[in-house]
Amino acid sequence: MKLDEEIIKILLKIAKRGEGALIIVGDVKHKPLVQQTVPTFNIFKNPKLLESLALMDGAVVVNEKAMMVAYGVKIDAKKVLKNFGTRHSAALSASLTGENISFALSEEDRKIRVFKKGKMVMQIDTLEKGIEKKVSEISHILEGVGVGTIGTIGAGIIATSVGFAGITFIPGVILFGGAYYLIKKLRERGK
């Protein structure tokens, strides 16, 4: 199983409880808000512990090898995401560094927003019926975001209530950015 797939599964569980969370994969500057008493662990071996730590205030940082590095940490927001709170601004800012990817779960609307390279690239509606069964497919699409093509046809163009235009391949999942490229590719396939 892939790292982003495991994180999305954990965030779906947290969303069912009506809670929010921020999980960052990569190397990001952070300041502890709580004493770090839980030792580093592999999140595949203990997803329940990651779920518990993600419920705390602050972010959880996981490295590319699926090891939990820190929890309950503050990420300084270098950029502000208009119309969203501090969790989303921290997620956006954390994604500015290298290959970091941030997963912000909003407790208000229960949507998971994924950030790469300083941009929101995906939104997952955790209330969509059957979304848990689509995690592998979502992960596959997420891998393709920003690297060129997505090999799925049947996209619909939508405008969300937060003012971003996106494309949906799976009900409840919206892709942002690169929409022009995707539309162009889909039109080329249709000819």
pLDDT per residue, tens digit, the chain (191 aa), is 699 999 999 999 999 999 999 999 999 999 999 999 999 999 999 999 999 999 999 999 999 999 999 999 999 888 888 888 899 999 999 999 889 999 999 999 999 999 999 888 899 999 999 999 999 888 878 776 654 333 333 333 333 444 445 566 677 887 776 544 454 445 455 54
| Contact between 111 and 83 (Cβ < 8 Å) | no
Find out if CATH 3.40.50.720 is the number for domain 3-190.
no
- Residue 167's pLDDT is what? 64
CA–CA separation, 56 vs 154, rounded Å?
39
pLDDT of residue 149: 35
User: How far, in Å, CA of 140 to CA of 151, rounded?
Assistant: 10
**pLDDT at position 174, please?**
78
In this prediction, residue 168 carries a pLDDT of 62
Q: What does the pLDDT read at residue 161?
A: 40
Return the DSSP state at 66. S
d(CA 62, CA 184): 35
